[in-house]
Structure 1
C-alpha cells in the first residue's frame, strides 16, 4: 500500500511540476490548420517559449502564438461544459488545437507602416520585404492595406497567405486587424511532433532595412 502511495505522490508531483513549467515558461501548441505552411503543417506540435511581460522583445519575423479573443475571436462556443472540458484536456496534452489561440508571423511592430502591395510585395516603412517563407505560389497578399502600427499593437500574417485568417481579415473591424502585443503567449521555437519533422523553428524574419 505504501508503494502505491509513493507512486501516486510521485506522479502527482510530476504533474504539478509540468503544470508550473507550462504555465510560466514553455507550452505545447497543436497546429490546427495550414495557415503557416510550409513552415508549420496541420497536426504539428510545437514548443512555445512564453514571453510573459516581455512584449517589447517581439521582433519582425517572429512566429508567435497568441490569444485571438478580441481580434480573431471565432463564433462563441455554445456547447456544454463537458465538451469544453474535453477540449481543454486535449489542448493541454497537445492533441487538439484551441479555437481562440492562433499562430502567425509578426510583420509589423509599433512604429511601423505596413503596406501592400508595392510591385507585388509587402513593404515596411517603404522597404519591400523578401518574404521567402511565403507558401510557394501564393501572392504576398490579395488584399491591399496601408496600416500604421501603434504602440502596444502588432500586424500579423500567416505564411500561407491564401489560407490564413490574420490581420487582413479584420481591416474593417474595430482595431483594424491589429493584435494587442500583450495577447502574445510566446514564440514558437521547436517542432516536437511528428518525429520526422522535429527540429528548431528557424525564424530569420523578413529582410528589413
Structure 2
C-alpha cells in the first residue's frame, strides 16, 4: 500500500508539472503575440515594395521596416520622408493589389510579422500649404525653391516628373508645366522613379478643376491620417540592408 501511494503521489506531481509547463508556454506565447501586436500598432511594421516606382533606392520585393514614433505627439511627415500610406483613391489598380496571405502567413500578417503589400510607398515632396510646381531647369519647385533630386531619383533625360496635358491628364515624359497648392492635412508625394510612378503629379487635376474645388481632385493628395509611418530601413535581402535618410536638398525649402 505504501509503494502504491508513493507511486500515485509521484504521478500526480508529474501531471501537475506537465500542466504547469503547458500553462507557462501558453502564457509566454500569448504575451509574445500581444507584444508583437503592440509593436505593430505603435512602433514598427514590415512591408514589401511591390513596384519599380521608388527605384533606385527601393527595389521590387525589398522588405522595409516602417517606424511610427516619428509621427507621435503632433509629429507629421516632412518633406523628403519616404512614407507608406493607404491608397488615397484608386491609385492601386486591380493587378497591383497582391493576393491576401493565407494560412499561417495570414496570421503573421495580422500581427505584423509578415510584410504587407497592399499599401503604397512614395516620397513626400510637399506638405499642407506648400506650392509644388514644374519645372525650373527640369527641377520640381517647392515654395519657389528648385529641388536638386539627382542624388535619389532615377536619371531622367528631360525633367523630374510626369507632366500635364492640355486636358488635365498626366503622362510620363516631356516637361510641360503644372502647379498645385497642397491642402492642409494632406501631402504631395512622388516616386523616385519619376518615369514610372503614378503619384500625386500623375493624378493631379488641371488647374481649372483645382480652382473649382472639384472634390475628385483631392485624390491627388495623401491624407496625413492615411500615413502608416516612415520607411526607416531596408532589412531584406541582406545585401541591400541600409537605413533610409531624408535628402539634404529639402533643407533649403522655406
Q: Same fold (TM over 0.5)?
A: yes
Q: Over alpha carbons, which structure has the higher Rg? A: 2
Secondary structure at the residue paired with 1:57?
coil
- Contact 1:55–1:184 (CA<8 Å) still a contact in 2? no
5+ residue gaps, structure 2, are: 1-17, 164-176, 206-215
Other-structure match for 1:97: 117
- Contact 1:32–1:96 (CA<8 Å) still a contact in 2? no
RMSD across aligned C-alpha pairs, in angstroms? 2.6
Between 46-55 and 62-71, the greater mean CA deviation after superposition: 46-55
Other-structure match for 1:67: 86
**Aligned-pair distance for 1:17?**
0.7
Equivalent residue pairs, number: 202
**Aligned-pair distance for 1:55?**
6.1
Other-structure match for 2:135: 117
Matches within 5 A, 1:163-178: 163-172=196-205, 173-175=216-218, 177-178=220-221
5+ residue gaps, structure 1, are: 78-82
Other-structure match for 2:13: none
Structure 1 residues 54 and 130, CA gap change in structure 2 (3 angstroms): farther
- The structure where helix makes up a greater share of residues is 2
- Give every structure 1 segment of 4 or more consecutive aligned residues whose post-TM-superposition deviation is greater than 4 Å: 51-56, 87-91
Distance 2:153 2:243 in 1: 18
**Aligned-pair distance for 1:57?**
2.8
**Aligned-pair distance for 1:88?**
4.9
Secondary structure at the residue paired with 1:6?
helix
Distance 2:140 2:55 in 1: 18
- The structure where strand makes up a greater share of residues is 1
- Contact 1:110–1:149 (CA<8 Å) still a contact in 2? yes
Q: Which structure has more RCO (C-alpha within 8 Å, separation ≥ 6)?
A: 1
Other-structure match for 1:185: 228
